[in-house]
């Protein structure tokens, strides 16, 4: 997979192509759109059709299953994808209608203008013709602001339809085996039976959920992050000074959303960050997050002490006008907290946190992110960029988990949340890191308390340090748990964590692993409808509908590939066994045999079992009912 660069040669905007693997239809799947109250609300879902079940009286239909679809137009064969043109701006009309923004005559950021006018970059530049948009002077254009004024935006309605995944329709079918679900344990969440547009509005208004939706990213399909909604996952991509190209980063993005990435963070720290980001945003149907301080640092050649508020501010404007949907801002790394990290095993492991710590120490000054926080809010609300308040002091080892520095910062993030909310700016809070299982819940509890239920967005946490190469797994354990406890979005960790830059294979491994964690959390919380897919897949498994089992899984390609390693013949897809046990030993088959045996006796299985039982029960009772009495 990592041979893209060599295959394609130098990246140019003229020759840029979509990754063929990203637009291949998923097996037995169809893109459908559910219409809202207006024809331009068309909510995409993936419909997975199933084959019939053979029963004695003929066949029984298995209904199609609907799953949340993050892949955007890429998996719609009716849409012609040309990454040079970017995606269609589906939200543009909605933003226009609100009439509270204006088209700018040019780019606000000096750096953006410089990049635009640099002839050397023309070959790699995405040529966006549309001028950037900004709120009219003095106006707030955040979804939170609308929500607080009682307005249900098309974005909110879109989200309500999307979150329900047609479960009201599935439930109306009355198929108990499909829709029955365990009562969850949600630790005080407030998940309704059905998500309504009004519920979305209310959650955004009170800050319990965010809709990352920059007015300059109209290509994005609205989604929500909050503890009363489906748990989301984020995929980090981005180049470094040592590797990757624009083409490769765009491919990581399209690959990540194909497998279920709900948002993507572009963490590039290498060459041409500005142009790379533009290509990603123009082609991304999911919100894009960044850490602006990374690029600001590049602008001062990596010398943290030379960073200034002005450079940082220009970077915020640059990225806000490109359409970044959320910014990680490490404003909680305050000067007084830095000494608290001196006794740590691994100091400050957040890149943003360490950059700011270095700046603070070099200047013996409070962080400019903290001192300029309200000015940052002013920028955020002019474009509707959401805060992702960074945990710059997160623990980088089990040893450092839940220490004074970490929680001092978390408390500060809670204070900053209040300030952002004062401005009606949307906020989520980043969380750790490396935390042993028994200390995870304290993180969630304190976050809920300090940050008043602003959505928590955690990296793992990793539950042990001893497995580099497998940190997608060490962290999936912690991620599933903290997702259950109430975390709204889980930032994936790939197998390459601590070791190298992830390639496309790693991106997919990270995504699938985190889809597992997020879904396990939804099940444990008892999120309505979450169990439908498990039920459908297990029914297919039990009935030896192998292809349905593969197609309903998170990764149909791998499931099929593993099965086919030992039984590649097409006929084996109908066989009532697999290579694990062979024909005689399959427990599923034996259970079927038990049911068939009962059917042959001319009674229903249940009756057959009960009848046999009653006879035996009487016998046992006559013999004294105690099996061990005779021994």
Residue ranges of the annotated binding site for Zn(2+) are 434, 498
Distance (Å, rounded) from C-alpha 217 to C-alpha 283?
A: 10
**Judged by CB, which is closer to a copy of itself: 354, or 386?**
354
Which of 311/578 has CB closer to a copy of itself?
Answer: 578
Considering the rule CB under 8 A, would residue 50 count as an interface residue with a copy of itself? no
CA–CA dist 490, 483 (Å, integer): 7
Q: Which residues contact 458 (CB under 8 A, 6 or more apart)?
A: 430, 431, 432, 433, 443, 478, 479, 482, 487, 489, 490, 491
Q: Name residues contacting a copy of itself, limited to 146-185 (CB under 8 A).
A: 177, 180, 182, 184-185
SS3 content of the chain, % helix, strand, coil (to 5): 45, 10, 40
Q: Which of 74, 111, 199, 370 binds a copy of itself (CB under 8 A)?
A: 370
Instruction: Output the smallest distance, CB 402 to a copy of itself, in A.
Output: 8
Q: Which is nearer to a copy of itself, 159 or 338 (CB)?
A: 338
Stretch that binds a copy of itself, among 32-40, 102-110, 245-253, 561-569 (CB under 8 A): 561-569
| Binding residue (CB under 8 A) for a copy of itself from 365, 445, 574, 576 | 365
Nearest Cα neighbor of 522 from 475, 474, 483 is 483
Query: Would you count residue 548 as binding a copy of itself (CB under 8 A)?
Result: no
Query: Does position 408 bind a copy of itself by CB under 8 A?
Result: no
3-state SS, 264-307, equals: EEECCCCCCHHHHHHHHHHCCCCCEEECHHHHHHHHCCCCHHHC
Q: Which of 519, 544, 545, 548 binds a copy of itself (CB under 8 A)?
A: 519
Residue (133 or 533) nearer to a copy of itself, CB: 533
222-251 residues near a copy of itself, rule: CB under 8 A: 240-243
Q: Can residue 598 be called a binding residue for a copy of itself (CB under 8 A)?
A: yes
Piece of 33-41, 148-156, 161-169, 508-516 that binds a copy of itself (CB under 8 A): 508-516
Q: Is 270 in the site for a copy of itself (CB under 8 A)?
A: yes
The residues in 574-593 that bind a copy of itself, with binding defined as CB under 8 A, are: 578-588, 590-593
Shortest Cβ 137–a copy of itself spacing (Å): 20
Q: Are 449 and 477 in contact (CB under 8 A)?
A: no
Distance from C-alpha of 116 to C-alpha of 124, rounded to nearest angstrom: 11
Binder to a copy of itself among 81, 357, 425, 490 (CB under 8 A)? 357
**Which residues share a beta bridge with 387?**
327, 427
Q: 261 near 519, Cβ under 8 Å?
A: no
Kindly tell me which residue out of 125, 258, 282, 351 binds a copy of itself, with binding defined by CB under 8 A.
Answer: 351
Figure out which of the listed residues 107, 191, 348, 369 binds a copy of itself, where binding follows CB under 8 A: 348
Report the SS3 class of residue 397. coil
Q: How far is the CB of 213 from a copy of itself (least distance, A)?
A: 27
Report in angstroms how near the CB of residue 228 gets to a copy of itself at its nearest. 17
For residues 313 and 369, give the distance between their C-alpha atoms in angstroms, rounded to a whole number.
10
β-pairing, 232-237 with 263-266? parallel
**Rg for the chain (alpha carbons), in Å?**
27
The 3-class SS string of 355-424 reads HHHHHHHHHCCCCHHHHCHHHHHHHHHHHCCEEEECCCCCCCCHHHCCCHHHHHHHHHHHHHHHHHHHCC
Pairing of strands 65-68, 42-48: antiparallel
- The answer to whether 342 contacts a copy of itself (rule: CB under 8 A) is yes
Instruction: Output 199 or 550, the one with its CB closest to a copy of itself.
Output: 550
Which listed residue (96, 102, 171, 534) binds a copy of itself by CB under 8 A? 534
Under the binding rule (CB under 8 A), the answer on residue 468 touching a copy of itself is yes
Q: Which of 13, 210, 253, 206 is nearest to 124 (CA)?
A: 13
Residue 1 touching a copy of itself (CB under 8 A) = no
CB 476 within 8 A of CB 514: yes
Cα 78 to its chain centre, rounded Å, is: 25
Q: Which residues are annotated as a binding site for [4Fe-4S] cluster?
A: 578, 581, 586
* Residue 345 touches a copy of itself, criterion: CB under 8 A: yes
Tell me which of 50, 153, 234, 531 binds a copy of itself, using CB under 8 A.
Answer: 531
Question: Measured from the CB of residue 206, what is the shortest distance to a copy of itself in angstroms?
Answer: 23
Residues 277-316 that bind a copy of itself (CB under 8 A): 294, 297-298, 301-302, 304
Q: How far is CA 456 from CA 368, 390, 515, in A?
A: 24, 11, 17
The reply to whether 569 sits near a copy of itself by the rule CB under 8 A is: no
Q: What span, in angstroms and rounded, lies between the C-alpha atoms of 138 and 124?
A: 36
Which residue from 533, 547, 548, 573 is in contact with a copy of itself, where contact means CB under 8 A?
Answer: 533
| Structural contact between residues 253 and 547, judged by C-beta atoms closer than 8 angstroms | no
In the set 74, 158, 255, 550, which binds a copy of itself (CB under 8 A)? 550
Question: Scanning the structure block, which residue is given the tokens 């909680």?
Answer: 332
* Cβ neighbour number for residue 592 with a 10 Å cutoff: 15
Q: Which is nearer to a copy of itself, 308 or 566 (CB)?
A: 566
How do beta strands 29-35 and 42-48 pair? antiparallel
Asked if residue 371 lies in contact with residue 416, where contact means CB atoms within 8 angstroms, the answer is no
188 binds a copy of itself (CB under 8 A): no
452 near a copy of itself (CB under 8 A): no
Assess contact for 281 and 322: CB atoms under 8 A.
yes
Of 401, 429, 444, 488, which one interacts with a copy of itself (CB under 8 A)?
401
- Among residues 199 and 485, whose Cβ is nearest to a copy of itself? 485
3-state secondary structure of 379: helix
- CB count within 10 Å of CB 61 equals 10
Residue of the chain from 524, 528, 544, 547 that contacts a copy of itself (CB under 8 A): 524
Q: Which of 288, 520, 528, 529 binds a copy of itself (CB under 8 A)?
A: 520
Nearer to a copy of itself among residue 169 and residue 590 (C-beta): 590
The owner of tokens 């004062």 is 422
């Amino acid at each position: 997979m990592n041979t893209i660069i060599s295959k394609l040669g130098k990246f140019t905007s003229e020759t840029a192509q979509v990754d063929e693997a990203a637009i291949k239809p998923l097996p037995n799947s169809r893109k459908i759109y559910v219409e809202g109250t207006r024809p331009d609300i068309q909510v995409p879902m993936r419909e997975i059709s199933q084959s019939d079940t053979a029963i004695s009286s003929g066949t029984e239909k298995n209904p199609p299953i609907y799953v949340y679809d993050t892949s955007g137009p890429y998996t719609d064969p009716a849409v012609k994808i040309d990454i040079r043109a970017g995606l269609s701006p589906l939200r543009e009309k909605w933003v226009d209608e609100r009439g509270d923004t204006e088209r700018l005559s040019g780019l606000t950021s000096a750096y953006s203008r410089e990049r635009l006018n640099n002839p050397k970059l023309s070959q790699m530049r995405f040529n966006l013709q549309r001028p950037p948009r900004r709120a009219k002077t003095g106006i707030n254009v955040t979804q939170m602001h609308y929500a607080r004024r009682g307005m249900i935006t098309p974005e909110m309605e879109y989200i309500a339809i999307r979150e329900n995944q047609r479960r009201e329709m599935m439930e109306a079918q009355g198929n108990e085996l499909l829709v029955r679900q365990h009562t969850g344990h949600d630790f005080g969440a407030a998940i309704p039976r059905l998500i309504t547009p009004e519920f979305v509005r209310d959650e955004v208004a009170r800050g319990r959920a965010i809709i990352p939706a920059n007015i300059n990213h109209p290509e994005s399909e609205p989604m929500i992050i909050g503890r009363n909604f489906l748990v989301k996952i984020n995929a980090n991509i981005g180049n470094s000074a040592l590797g990757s190209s624009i083409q490769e980063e765009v491919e990581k993005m399209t690959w990540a959303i194909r497998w279920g990435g709900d948002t993507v963070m572009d963490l590039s720290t290498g060459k041409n960050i500005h142009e790379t980001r533009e290509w990603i945003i123009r082609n991304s149907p999911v919100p894009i997050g960044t850490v602006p301080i990374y690029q600001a640092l590049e602008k001062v050649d990596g010398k943290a002490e030379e960073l200034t508020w002005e450079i940082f501010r220009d970077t915020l404007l640059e990225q806000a006008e490109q359409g970044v949907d959320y910014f990680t801002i490490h404003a909680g790394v305050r000067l007084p907290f830095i000494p608290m990290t001196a006794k740590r095993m691994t100091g400050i492991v957040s890149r943003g946190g360490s950059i700011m710590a270095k700046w603070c120490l070099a200047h013996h000054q409070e962080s400019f992110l903290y001192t300029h926080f309200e000015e940052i809010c002013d920028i955020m609300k002019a474009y509707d960029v959401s805060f992702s308040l960074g945990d710059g002091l997160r623990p980088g080892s089990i040893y450092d988990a839940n220490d004074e520095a970490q929680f001092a910062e978390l408390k500060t993030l809670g204070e900053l949340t209040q300030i952002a909310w004062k401005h009606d700016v949307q906020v989520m809070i980043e969380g750790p890191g490396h935390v042993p299982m028994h200390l995870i819940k304290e993180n969630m509890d304190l976050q809920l308390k300090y940050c008043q239920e602003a959505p928590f967005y955690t990296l793992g946490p990793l539950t042990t340090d001893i497995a580099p190469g497998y940190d997608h797994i060490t962290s999936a354990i912690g991620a599933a748990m903290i997702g259950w406890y109430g975390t709204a979005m889980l930032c994936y960790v790939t197998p390459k964590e601590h070791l190298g830059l992830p390639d496309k294979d790693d991106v997919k491994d990270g995504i699938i692993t985190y889809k597992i964690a997020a879904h396990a959390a939804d099940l444990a919380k008892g999120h309505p409808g979450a169990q439908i897919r498990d039920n459908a897949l297990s029914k297919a498994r039990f009935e030896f509908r192998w292809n349905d089992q593969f197609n309903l899984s998170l990764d149909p390609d791998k499931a099929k590939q593993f099965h086919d390693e030992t039984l590649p013949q097409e006929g084996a897809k109908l066989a009532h066994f697999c290579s694990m046990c062979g024909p005689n030993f399959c427990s599923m088959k034996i259970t079927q045999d038990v049911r068939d045996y009962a059917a042959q006796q001319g009674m229903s299985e249940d009756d057959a079992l009960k009848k046999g039982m009653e006879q035996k029960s009487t016998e046992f009772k006559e013999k004294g009912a105690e099996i061990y009495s005779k021994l």
